[in-house]
Structure 1
Amino acid sequence: MKQVVIVGAGQAGATAAARLRALGFGGAVTLIGQETTLPYQRPPLSKKYLLGEMDLERLHLRPGKFYAEAGIDLRRGIAVQAIDRARCRVVTTMGDLPYDALILTTGARARPLPETLGADPARVHVVRTLADVDRMAPEFGAGRRVLIVGGGYIGLEAAAVAVRLGLQVTLVEMSARILQRVAAPETSDYFRALHRDRGVEILEATGLQSLAGGKAVLTDGQVRSYDFIIAGIGILPNDGLAAAAGLDCDGGVLVNARGQSSDPAIWAAGDCARFSFRGQMLRLESVQNAIDQAEAVAANLMGAAQDYRPKPWFWSDQYETKLQIAGLNTGYDRVVVRHGAQPGTSAHWYYRGEELLAVDAINEPRCYMVAKRLIDAGRSPAPERVADPGVELKALL
Structure 2
Amino acid sequence: MDIEKLVVVGASLAGLRAVEGARKAGFEGQITLIGAEPHLPYDRPPLSKQFLEPGSDELEAPFFRTVETFSGELDAEVVLGAPATGLDTENRQVLVGERRVDYDALVIATGSTPRLLPGTERLSGVHTLRTLDDAVAVRQALTEGARTVVIGAGFIGSEVASGANKRGVPVTVVEALPTPLVRATGEAMGHAIASLHERNGTRLRCGVGVSAIEGDDRVERVVLADGSVLDADLVVVGIGVVPATDWLAGSGVQVDNGILCDENLWTGVPGVYAAGDVANWFNPVLGERQRMENWTAAAEQGAAAARNAIDPANARPYGTVPYFWSDWYDVRIQFVGSPDADEVRVVDGDPETGDKWVALYRRGDRLIGALTLNGQAVIMKYRVMITKGTSWDEALAFAEARKARMAEKAAARA
Q: TM-score, normalised by structure 1?
A: 0.91
Letter in 1 for 2:6: V
SS at match of 1:182: helix
Query: Which is worse superposed, 220-229 or 15-24?
Result: 220-229
Alpha-carbon distance, 1:120 to partner: 4.9
Query: Are residue 331 (structure 1) and residue 341 (structure 2) matched?
Result: yes
Partner of 1:240: 246
Aligned residues of 1:85 and 1:245 also touching (Cα < 8 A)? yes
Aligned residues of 1:186 and 1:348 also touching (Cα < 8 A)? no
User: Residues 13, 78 of structure 1: CA spacing in aligned structure 2 closer, same or farther, 3 A cutoff?
Assistant: same
Q: Distance in 2 between matches of 1:291 and 1:141?
A: 32
User: Residues 185, 252 of structure 1: CA spacing in aligned structure 2 closer, same or farther, 3 A cutoff?
Assistant: closer
Aligned residues of 2:348 and 2:403 also touching (Cα < 8 A)? no
Q: Distance in 2 between matches of 1:369 and 1:262?
A: 33
Partner of 1:252: 258
Partner of 1:282: 290
Query: Are residue 312 (structure 1) and residue 322 (structure 2) matched?
Result: yes
Alpha-carbon distance, 1:85 to partner: 2.1
Letter in 1 for 2:304: A
Length, aligned pairs only: 390
Query: Are residue 76 (structure 1) and residue 84 (structure 2) matched?
Result: no
Query: Are residue 87 (structure 1) and residue 91 (structure 2) matched?
Result: yes
Q: Distance in 2 between matches of 1:192 and 1:249?
A: 33
Q: Distance in 2 between matches of 1:228 and 1:113?
A: 14
User: Residues 191, 142 of structure 1: CA spacing in aligned structure 2 closer, same or farther, 3 A cutoff?
Assistant: farther
SS at match of 1:121: coil
Q: Distance in 1 between matches of 2:240 and 2:289?
A: 18
Aligned residues of 2:362 and 2:368 also touching (Cα < 8 A)? yes
Query: Which is worse superposed, 353-362 or 229-238?
Result: 353-362
Q: Distance in 2 between matches of 1:101 and 1:55?
A: 40
User: Residues 89, 380 of structure 1: CA spacing in aligned structure 2 closer, same or farther, 3 A cutoff?
Assistant: same
Q: Distance in 2 between matches of 1:381 and 1:285?
A: 27
User: Residues 283, 390 of structure 1: CA spacing in aligned structure 2 closer, same or farther, 3 A cutoff?
Assistant: closer
Alpha-carbon distance, 1:279 to partner: 4.9
Partner of 1:104: 108
Query: Are residue 272 (structure 1) and residue 307 (structure 2) matched?
Result: no
Alignment of 1:1-397 (within 5 A): 1-51=3-53, 53=56, 59-69=62-72, 70-93=74-97, 95-115=99-119, 120-141=122-143, 143-184=145-186, 187-213=189-215, 214-277=220-283, 278-301=286-309, 302=311, 303-339=313-349, 343-382=354-393, 384-385=396-397, 386-387=399-400, 390-392=403-405
Q: 5+ unaligned residues in a row in structure 2: which ranges?
A: 407-414
Aligned residues of 1:336 and 1:387 also touching (Cα < 8 A)? no
Q: Distance in 2 between matches of 1:95 and 1:65?
A: 25
Aligned residues of 2:57 and 2:139 also touching (Cα < 8 A)? no
Q: Distance in 2 between matches of 1:224 and 1:130?
A: 27
User: Residues 125, 58 of structure 1: CA spacing in aligned structure 2 closer, same or farther, 3 A cutoff?
Assistant: closer
Alpha-carbon distance, 1:310 to partner: 2.0
Letter in 2 for 1:275: W
Q: Distance in 2 between matches of 1:297 and 1:94?
A: 27
1:19-77 deviations in whole A, cap 9, x for unaligned?
A: 10001011101111122222111010111123354867561122332212221112222
Aligned residues of 2:176 and 2:208 also touching (Cα < 8 A)? yes
Alpha-carbon distance, 1:169 to partner: 0.8
SS at match of 2:184: coil
Q: Distance in 1 between matches of 2:186 and 2:91?
A: 49
1:275-331 deviations in whole A, cap 9, x for unaligned?
A: 123454331111111111112112212243211112211000112101111111213
Alpha-carbon distance, 1:194 to partner: 2.3
Aligned residues of 2:362 and 2:392 also touching (Cα < 8 A)? no
Q: Distance in 2 between matches of 1:353 and 1:148?
A: 37
Letter in 1 for 2:34: I
Letter in 2 for 1:327: G
1:320-379 deviations in whole A, cap 9, x for unaligned?
A: 101111111213323233128x95111111112431111111111112122122112221
User: Residues 208, 390 of structure 1: CA spacing in aligned structure 2 closer, same or farther, 3 A cutoff?
Assistant: closer
Q: Distance in 2 between matches of 1:143 and 1:206?
A: 26
User: Residues 343, 161 of structure 1: CA spacing in aligned structure 2 closer, same or farther, 3 A cutoff?
Assistant: same
SS at match of 1:181: helix
Q: TM-score, normalised by structure 2?
A: 0.88
